[in-house]
Amino acid sequence: MKVLVAVKRVVDYKVQIRVKSDNSGVETQNVKMSVNPPDENAIEEAVKLKEQGVAKETVAISIGDEKSQDVLRTSMAMGIDRSILVKTSNSLEPLAVAKTLSKIIEKENPDLVLMGKQAIDDDSNQTGQILSALLDWPQACFISDLKIEGNKLSISREIDEGIEKIKTSLPAVITCDLRLNTPRFASLPNIMKAKKKPLDIIDISSLGIDTDPKIKIIKVEEPPKRKAGIMVNDVKELVEKLKYEAKVI
Amino acid sequence: MAVLVIAEHDNNILKTSTLNTITAATKLSDDIHLLILGKDIETLSNNAKTIHPIKKILKCDNSKLENFIPELSAPIISHIANGYSHILAPASTFGKNLLPRVSALLDVTQISDVIEIKSENTFVRPIYAGNAISHVETNQNINLLTIRPTSFEKCEETGGSASSEDVQFIDNDVKTIFIGREVSKSDRPELGNARIVVSGGRGMENSENFNLLYDLADKLNAAVGASRAAVDAGYIGNEYQVGQTGKMVAPELYIAVGISGAIQHLAGMKESKVIVAINKDTEAPIFNIADYGLSSDLFQAIPEIIKELNLLNKLES
Ligand SMILES: Cc1cc2nc3c(=O)[nH]c(=O)nc-3n(C[C@H](O)[C@H](O)[C@H](O)COP(=O)(O)OP(=O)(O)OC[C@H]3O[C@@H](n4cnc5c(N)ncnc54)[C@H](O)[C@@H]3O)c2cc1C
Ligand SMILES: Nc1ncnc2c1ncn2[C@@H]1O[C@H](COP(=O)(O)O)[C@@H](O)[C@H]1O
């Protein structure tokens, strides 16, 4: 079985982001960038499948500018066999990302596509679902448990009401929740080894798909700031404030 | 043009998120249709006819639709999409699972998590865990939106008299089989629309200690929530997680207990009207956004609060 993992390069989750002063977007220059967190879970799951002998080959793919090579190197340092960068200087909407992935999938023929449930920059939570529809493969989103036997998948998905269990079959598209597994750290020797693993670069224009944005960003603003209130001295004061000042209890 | 709202329900009743989404639709059109896909939904559809803003109920009643498998629902929706300028679904796990598939079938870009509708083609949505607010414009023929329920009031459930129409079931060779759902049963209000939420974090230390919060919640008729750390540690189920990758809440009162206040947690609760933080670390970032902060050990503070509330109740009765 061959597994493809989609990895996005995003502003690190620990960074306190800043809105650009011209309101055109969020500052991404000179800030720490990392693998989108749930994509690390996708990588971990792929590497585990390889270690278990379920997967023969694991491939990471990222769509982005030159710098996205670093998240692919990280993926390979975690154990992914090889990777593909689809190069573009534009930031793509989920529909365009999914179309790009489906083109690569035509060539690569994976049995399973693992991705994150949501990119923590745009918080879209769409790409896996779209990809699954474009490929006409089953989708399993927000998963926290995966068992594979032959081409049968047993899956637990996190839904608002609790956990949903489904069974489906390969080929399939899966989007991972952070609770699926604990991503490993790349060890120094593995980081060195990853430098020698193959990384192909394809220009997005060679794929012949329409990736033009359908949505225009008019402006990006700071959210209204909440200011700190007061510290109360004890429980009695807290309950009195809630009752007589805020009038919420 | 008419606007279509996709109903989230459990085959018996509509979820509140549907009512919030209908209110969002009223900002776009007076001609709002509600699509109900499910199994044995006759009663549900009949009851929905009285929802004030709804002009027409579209329903597809089929046993295969019982468990909302998106591979089956999406083609039904895209088949009728042409008559609509906008298609809306709640930004719940139900809507997130389904609407992007429709966007793929229609070849349009969906706008996720809309918190404000400025005009027919201008929408506001949070990005970066709510640390930035993006205003977007689109000129697509059909606009697909998921709506953040907490940003819109519930619509009136009475006073309407919608017509009703069946829509065609489109069978599909779907590989996915529904096995089951593990749903926690509780008599407390639903987290997404409770007036008061009491949330616990890693500071709760274990699942037994959450009983303290359940007691407090019951005194206040509140829902219980949690941080991701508390869920990850197994103190409580994933359905209680509040935050960027959990549920969004905006109650009148949010009480954060033993929660540090990471931005991913704040993403899910900072729209609450009044925020209380109880934390023994005076430096905890949660205090920066709390209206009332109490620096104290929670194991002392919570029983004391319950005692104070009991006293108040006695005074009042
Ligand atoms: C991509 C991504 C998405 C995420 N999504 C979410 C999300 O949706 N929701 C979410 O909550 N988190 C989310 N997180 C995790 C988030 O970054 C934090 O790790 C998490 O919110 C921390 O939870 P906590 O505050 O309970 O734990 P901690 O940060 O460990 O804080 C525990 C707090 O309890 C206090 N405490 C301990 N004992 C006591 C006591 N006896 N009395 C009083 N106070 C005490 C401590 O002082 C401390 O402030 C996400 C992270 C990532 C990377
Ligand atoms: N530019 C990209 N390159 C590779 N994968 C991506 C890209 N954008 C999104 N993805 C994948 O799609 C998932 C969901 O993203 P989104 O729909 O944007 O929230 C991410 O977790 C990634 O796995």
- Residuewise pLDDT in 10s, chain B (317 residues): 999 999 999 999 999 999 999 999 999 999 999 999 999 999 999 999 999 999 999 999 999 999 999 999 999 999 999 999 999 999 999 999 999 999 999 999 999 999 999 999 999 999 999 999 999 999 999 999 999 999 999 999 999 999 999 999 999 889 999 999 999 888 999 999 999 999 999 999 999 999 999 999 999 999 999 999 999 999 999 999 999 999 999 999 999 999 999 999 999 999 999 999 999 999 999 999 999 999 999 999 999 999 999 999 888 87
For residue B231, the CA-to-ligand 1 centroid distance in Å is 10
Task: Write down the residue that tokens 């200690």 correspond to.
Answer: B209
The ligand 1 site (C-beta within 6 Å) comprises A 13, 37, 120, 178; B 201-203, 227-230, 241-246, 258-260, 262, 264-265, 268, 279-281, 284, 297-299
Helix, strand, or coil (residue A8): coil
**Beta-bridge partner residues of A145:** A156
Q: Of B256, B255, B230, B252, nearest to B241 (Cα)?
A: B230
**% helix, strand, coil for chain A, step of 5:** 30, 30, 40
Task: Write down the residue that tokens 């798909």 correspond to.
Answer: A209
Q: What is the pLDDT of residue B186?
A: 87
Q: Is the same domain home to B200 and B140?
A: no
How far, rounded to the nearest angstrom, does the alpha carbon of residue B160 sit from its chain's CA centroid? 24
Number of domains into which chain B is organized: 2
**A195: its two tokens:** 């430098």
Give the DSSP H/E element, type plus range, for residue A58. strand A57-64
Q: What is the pLDDT of residue B78?
A: 98
Cβ-based contacts of A94 with chain B (< 8 Å): 100, 109-110
Cβ-based contacts of B176 with chain A (< 8 Å): 138-140, 166-168
CATH (domain of B95) = 3.40.50.620
Measure in Å the smallest separation between the Cα of B294 and chain A Cα atoms: 6
Residue B94 lies in a domain: yes
Residue B191 lies in a domain: no
* Cβ proximity of A4 and A172 under 8 Å: no
Q: Check if A113 has its Cβ closer than 6 Å to any atom of ligand 2.
A: no
**B50: its two tokens:** 């009285």
CATH (domain of B266) = 3.40.50.1220
In 10 A of CB A56, how many CB atoms?
A: 12
* Dihedral sign, Cα of residue A212, residue A216, residue A222, residue A224: negative
> Where among B166, B183, B215 does a domain terminate?
B166
Residue B248 lies in a domain: yes
Q: Strand B143-147 to strand B110-114: parallel, antiparallel, or no bridges (unpaired)?
A: parallel
Measure Cα distances from A147 to A150, A152, A160 in Å: 10, 8, 22
Tell if the CB–CB gap between B244 and A98 is shorter than 8 Å: no
Q: Is the same domain home to B210 and B307?
A: yes
Q: Is the same domain home to B106 and B205?
A: no
Q: What is the pLDDT of residue B313?
A: 85
For residue B260, the CA-to-ligand 1 centroid distance in Å is 5
> Where among B122, B146, B166 does a domain terminate?
B166
**Beta-bridge partner residues of A10:** A34
Identify the domain containing residue B247 by its residue range. 196-316
Q: What is the pLDDT of residues A104-141, one digit of tens each?
A: 999 999 999 999 999 999 999 999 999 999 999 999 99
Residue B173 lies in a domain: no
Phi, psi of B311 (to 5 degrees): -60, -45
Q: Strand B110-114 to strand B196-200: parallel, antiparallel, or no bridges (unpaired)?
A: unpaired
Q: Check if A64 has its Cβ closer than 6 Å to any atom of ligand 2.
A: yes
Residue B156 lies in a domain: yes
Give the DSSP H/E element, type plus range, for residue A102. helix A94-108
Rounded (10°) angle between helices B93-106 and B70-80: 50
Measure in Å the smallest separation between the Cα of A247 and chain B Cα atoms: 10
Q: Is the same domain home to B66 and B139?
A: yes
Q: Can you count the helices (H) and strands (E) in chain A?
A: 6, 13
Q: Check if A88 has its Cβ closer than 6 Å to any atom of ligand 2.
A: no
Q: Read out DSSP for chain B?
A: -EEEEEPPB-SSSB-HHHHHHHHHHHTT-S-EEEEEEESS-HHHHHHHTT-TTEEEEEEEE-GGGTT--HHHHHHHHHHHGGGEEEEEEESSHHHHHHHHHHHHHHT--EEEEE-EEEETTEEEEEEGGGTEEEEEEE--SSEEEEE-GGGSPPPP-SS---EEEE----------EEEEEEE---SSPPGGG-SEEEEE-GGG-STTTHHHHHHHHHHHT-EEEE-HHHHHTTSS-GGGBBSTTSB----SEEEEES----HHHHTTTTT-SEEEEEES-TT-GGGGT-SEEEES-HHHHHHHHHHHHHHHHHHH-
Which residue is closest in CA terms to ligand 2's atom 21?
A116
Across the range A154-174, mean pLDDT stands at: 98
**Beta-bridge partner residues of B224:** B198
Tell if the CB–CB gap between A16 and B74 is shorter than 8 Å: no
Q: Which atom of ligand 1 is nearest to the CA of B286?
A: 49
For residue A237, the CA-to-ligand 2 centroid distance in Å is 48
- Cis peptide leading into residue A37 (ω within 30°): no
Tell if the CB–CB gap between A168 and B220 is shorter than 8 Å: no
Tell if the CB–CB gap between A123 and B112 is shorter than 8 Å: yes
Q: Is the same domain home to B213 and B151?
A: no
Q: Is the same domain home to B119 and B38?
A: yes
How far, rounded to the nearest angstrom, does the alpha carbon of residue B145 sit from its chain's CA centroid? 14
Spatial distance between the Cα atoms of A43 and A72, rounded to a whole number of angstroms: 10
Residue B177 lies in a domain: no
**Beta-bridge partner residues of B6:** B35
Q: Of B12, B57, B65, nearest to B33 (Cα)?
A: B57
Model's pTM, two decimal places?
Answer: 0.97
Cβ-based contacts of B182 with chain A (< 8 Å): 162-165
Q: Check if A124 has its Cβ closer than 6 Å to any atom of ligand 2.
A: yes
Residue B224 lies in a domain: yes
> Where among B147, B166, B185 does a domain terminate?
B166
Q: What is the pLDDT of residue B185?
A: 84
Q: Is the same domain home to B135 and B245?
A: no
Q: Is the same domain home to B284 and B238?
A: yes
Q: Is the same domain home to B29 and B154?
A: yes
Spatial distance between the Cα atoms of B114 and B136, rounded to a whole number of angstroms: 10
Task: Write down the residue that tokens 């060890």 correspond to.
Answer: A187
For chain A, what is the mean pLDDT?
A: 97
Considering only alpha carbons, which residue of chain A is nearest residue B277? A231
Tell if the CB–CB gap between A235 and B308 is shorter than 8 Å: yes
Q: Which of B245, B248, B294, B296 to mutate to test the pocket of ligand 1 (most atoms within 8 A of CB)?
A: B245
Q: Is the same domain home to B162 and B20?
A: yes
Q: Is the same domain home to B162 and B48?
A: yes
Q: Is the same domain home to B234 and B122?
A: no
For residue A218, what pLDDT band results from cuts at 50, 70 and 90?
A: very high
* Cβ proximity of B222 and B188 under 8 Å: yes
Residue B171 lies in a domain: no
Considering only alpha carbons, which residue of chain B is nearest residue A163? B182
Measure in Å the smallest separation between the Cα of A228 and chain B Cα atoms: 5
User: Is the ipTM reported for this complex over the cut 0.85?
Assistant: yes
Measure in Å the smallest separation between the Cα of A169 and chain B Cα atoms: 6
Spatial distance between the Cα atoms of A172 and B175, rounded to a whole number of angstroms: 10
